[in-house]
Amino acid sequence: MKNEQKGILYAFGAYGIWGLFPLYWRLLDQVDSMEILLSRVIWSFVFTTVFILILKHKNLLIEDLKTIWKNKKVFLALLAASFAISCNWFIYIFAVNNGHVIETSLGYYINPLITVLFGMLFFKERLSKMQLVAVIVAFIGVIVLTVSYGNIPWVAMLLAFSFATYGALKKKITLDATRGLAIETLFILPFALIYYIYIMSTNQMSFLHVSWQTDILLILAGVVTAIPLVLFSKGAKLLPQYLIGFIQYITPTTLLIFGIVLYHETFSTIEFISFSFIWLAILIFTVSTIVESRKRHNIEHKVANVEI
Contact 210, 30 (CB under 8 A): yes
Average pLDDT in the chain: 85
pLDDT interval class at 297 (50, 70, 90): low
**Which pLDDT score is estimated for 19?**
92
CB–CB of 81/231 below 8 Å?
Answer: no
Whether the pLDDT of residue 38 is over 90: the answer is yes
pLDDT above 90 (res 243)? no
d(CA 85, CA 159): 9
d(CA 200, CA 217): 19
What are 208-240's pLDDT values in tens digits? Answer: 888 999 999 999 998 898 888 888 877 877 776
134-145 pLDDT, tens digit per residue, is 888 888 888 887
Residue 151 region by backbone torsions, left for phi larger than 0, else alpha for psi between -120 and 50, else beta? beta
Contact 99, 118 (CB under 8 A): no
State pLDDT tens for residues 57-104.
Answer: 899 999 999 999 988 888 998 899 899 989 999 999 999 999 899 999
Task: Calculate the alpha carbon distances from 183 to 45, 67, 79 in Å.
Answer: 8, 12, 9
- Per-domain boundaries in the chain: 3-307
- Whether the CB-CB separation of 265 and 101 falls below 8 Å is answered with yes
Asked if the model's pLDDT at residue 304 lies above 70, the reply is no
- Burial of 302: CB neighbours in 10 Å, binned 0-12, 13-18, 19+: exposed
Q: What is the pLDDT of residue 113?
A: 77
pLDDT of amino acid 303: 60
C-alpha span between 219 and 94 (Å, rounded): 18
Distance CA 57, CA 228 (A): 20
Cβ pair 178, 48 in contact under 8 A: yes
Do residues 286 and 245 touch, judged by C-beta distance below 8 A?
yes
Q: How far apart are CA 167 and CA 145, in angstroms?
A: 26
Confidence check: pLDDT of 272 > 70: yes
Query: Which band of pLDDT confidence, cut at 50, 70 and 90, is reported for residue 305?
Result: low
pLDDT at 125: 73
Residue 252 C-alpha from the chain's centroid: 11
3-state secondary structure 53-102: HHCCCHHHHHHHHHHHHHCHHHHHHHHHHHHHHHHHHHHHHHHHCCCCHH
- CA-to-CA distance for 197 and 282, rounded, in angstroms? 44
